Chain A
């Protein structure tokens, strides 16, 4: 369903992605893990069309999306949901207007109907109607994430991207969000790609995990293979050890 072929991306002299390739099957939940600065966010922005790779192909349902104009890829965009790291809710709109944004702006659905759709999407992430008229500034971190998730799934997309979905949340809320993601994805039957460095999320969400290190996937495998892997880089990352083959800037020897 989604195929990445030899994606390369540089910023000046710094090469961030060095030939990234990956196949994501329909209905699969793939998680990309990697340390800070490994290129996870850049890769996701390339897939979303927010950046253009220097080389390579990003094929979604047989269409190479690299270089397509926004209007040309609008049909693909309409099938995509995205949960941003900090929610990226629009400050000037209320919760229900945020959730129903694409229904109102791109599908031309009326305000009353859109509010009902937003209310249904919010119920899916365990939020009640009392948050409908609040502004994002009045929400806690966890609720912010839930509203972001509701916006991502409200149009019933068949591809969903999650960017660090549990960053900044306490362990209980992390569990809640992970479970919501699993439930929502199961309900929709969607294909998902998540980027994270949180191993709790990986274990809860991933069918397949890909480990990105210095702009390349150096390990890819399923849930069972992840736990039994003997890749020294991945083991160091999973166990959170400061010493090992991964060089950590500022770490003492």
Chain B
């Protein structure tokens, strides 16, 4: 009997959490589209979320592009198909690895930072203070972060695409002995504009997820420093899982046709 009760509790808890997140998302979206907006805070968040994430995303994508080139080369070597390295690196980076790895790295950096900041504001009554000062916390805290992350992530993904492909090119030409002109030609010839745009669309959704879960866990944190720590961890874990799940669903939809 207790076994059934445990399963029941799990599902009730799951649906309750999903419901709370859905309501939070609705309020967040209303805050994004209803005035007043805070352009100065949106710009600040664009700097924090986008600009300061550039080094992390650039390094991650460069090495990923390089490793991808090596793996495809060694794998393709067994079937005498080393020539596909440039094409597969370009497709892999633009379609999947640029947006997904970039999203996961930004989730680790930005979701945690948002959850910690808003969580600290919650436990030190700063969010209550905002409310008593006639300022809607959703408009002042949540909406600017949602807007900034949704704008910044496609830009970061595009940067990741360029640097990732460059990482593959560097390893391909410097270490694997490919001719530079041929490598570039094979990259460009087989790369379609939809490969890039599909990755950027995904990245935009990932940006929304990253900011949403950072805000959600921070906003609902309680219990002092320990509660803020828990919110930070939950934000990163749930954002990462949701990014991977959303990636699967969007890939199914975008490439089904």
Shortest distance from the beta carbon of A148 to any chain B beta carbon, whole Å: 9
| Residues of chain B in range 123-144 having any CB-CB distance to chain A below 8 Å | 124-126, 128-136, 140
- In the bound complex, do residue B126 and residue A102 qualify as a contact, i.e. CB atoms below 8 Å apart? no
- In the bound complex, do residue A88 and residue B128 qualify as a contact, i.e. CB atoms below 8 Å apart? yes
Given that A84-B129, A90-B129 are known contacts, is A105 also in contact with B124, CB under 8 Å in the complex? no
* B87 contacts partner chain A, Cβ-Cβ < 8 Å: no
Residue numbers in B under 8 Å from A101 (CB-CB): 133, 135
Q: Is the interface of A mostly helix, strand, loop or mixed?
A: loop
Smallest CB gap from A105: residue in B = B135
- In the bound complex, do residue A102 and residue B136 qualify as a contact, i.e. CB atoms below 8 Å apart? no
Interface range on chain B (Cβ under 8 Å from partner) = 10 to 19
Smallest CB gap from B136: residue in A = A70
* B234 contacts partner chain A, Cβ-Cβ < 8 Å: no
Smallest CB gap from A86: residue in B = B124
Q: How far is the CA of A105 from the CA of B132 in the complex (A)?
A: 13
Residue numbers in A under 8 Å from B126 (CB-CB): 88-91
Residue numbers in A under 8 Å from B120 (CB-CB): 91
Contact check: which of B124, B125, B133 meets A106 at CB < 8 Å? B133
Q: How far is the CA of A89 from the CA of B133 in the complex (A)?
A: 12
Q: How far is the CA of A102 from the CA of B130 in the complex (A)?
A: 9
- In the bound complex, do residue B133 and residue A105 qualify as a contact, i.e. CB atoms below 8 Å apart? yes
Q: Is the interface of B mostly helix, strand, loop or mixed?
A: helix
- In the bound complex, do residue A84 and residue B128 qualify as a contact, i.e. CB atoms below 8 Å apart? yes
Of A80, A84, A88, the most chain B CB neighbours within 10 A belong to A88
Smallest CB gap from B139: residue in A = A105
Shortest distance from the beta carbon of A214 to any chain B beta carbon, whole Å: 24
- In the bound complex, do residue B124 and residue A102 qualify as a contact, i.e. CB atoms below 8 Å apart? no
Interface range on chain A (Cβ under 8 Å from partner) = 20 to 34
Given that A77-B134, A102-B135 are known contacts, is A88 also in contact with B140, CB under 8 Å in the complex? no
- In the bound complex, do residue A82 and residue B134 qualify as a contact, i.e. CB atoms below 8 Å apart? no
Residue numbers in B under 8 Å from A86 (CB-CB): 124-125
Q: How far is the CA of A186 from the CA of B132 in the complex (A)?
A: 22
- In the bound complex, do residue A85 and residue B125 qualify as a contact, i.e. CB atoms below 8 Å apart? yes
Residue numbers in A under 8 Å from B133 (CB-CB): 77, 101-102, 105-106, 151
Q: How far is the CA of A38 from the CA of B38 in the complex (A)?
A: 40
Q: How far is the CA of A106 from the CA of B135 in the complex (A)?
A: 7
Given that A70-B136, A105-B140 are known contacts, is A88 also in contact with B129, CB under 8 Å in the complex? yes
Residue numbers in B under 8 Å from A77 (CB-CB): 132-134
- In the bound complex, do residue A74 and residue B134 qualify as a contact, i.e. CB atoms below 8 Å apart? yes
Q: How far is the CA of A48 from the CA of B127 in the complex (A)?
A: 13
Smallest CB gap from A101: residue in B = B133
Q: How far is the CA of A151 from the CA of B135 in the complex (A)?
A: 14
- In the bound complex, do residue B125 and residue A84 qualify as a contact, i.e. CB atoms below 8 Å apart? yes
Contact check: which of B124, B129, B140 meets A82 at CB < 8 Å? B129
Residue numbers in B under 8 Å from A85 (CB-CB): 125
Q: How far is the CA of A165 from the CA of B16 in the complex (A)?
A: 38
Shortest distance from the beta carbon of A78 to any chain B beta carbon, whole Å: 6
Q: How far is the CA of A70 from the CA of B134 in the complex (A)?
A: 8
Q: How far is the CA of A151 from the CA of B125 in the complex (A)?
A: 15
* A50 contacts partner chain B, Cβ-Cβ < 8 Å: yes
Q: How far is the CA of A77 from the CA of B121 in the complex (A)?
A: 20
Pairs across A and B, CB under 8 Å, 26 listed: A45-B128, A48-B132, A50-B128, A50-B132, A70-B131, A70-B136, A77-B132, A77-B134, A80-B132, A85-B125, A86-B124, A86-B125, A88-B124, A89-B126, A89-B129, A90-B126, A90-B130, A91-B121, A101-B133, A105-B134, A105-B135, A105-B140, A106-B133, A106-B134, A106-B135, A151-B133
Instruction: Please give the residue numbers on chain A whose beta carbons come within 8 Å of chain B beta carbons, in ascending order.
Output: 45, 48-50, 70, 74, 77-78, 80, 82, 84-86, 88-91, 101-102, 105-106, 151
- 5 closest cross-chain pairs (CB), A and B: A88-B129, A88-B125, A82-B132, A102-B133, A77-B134
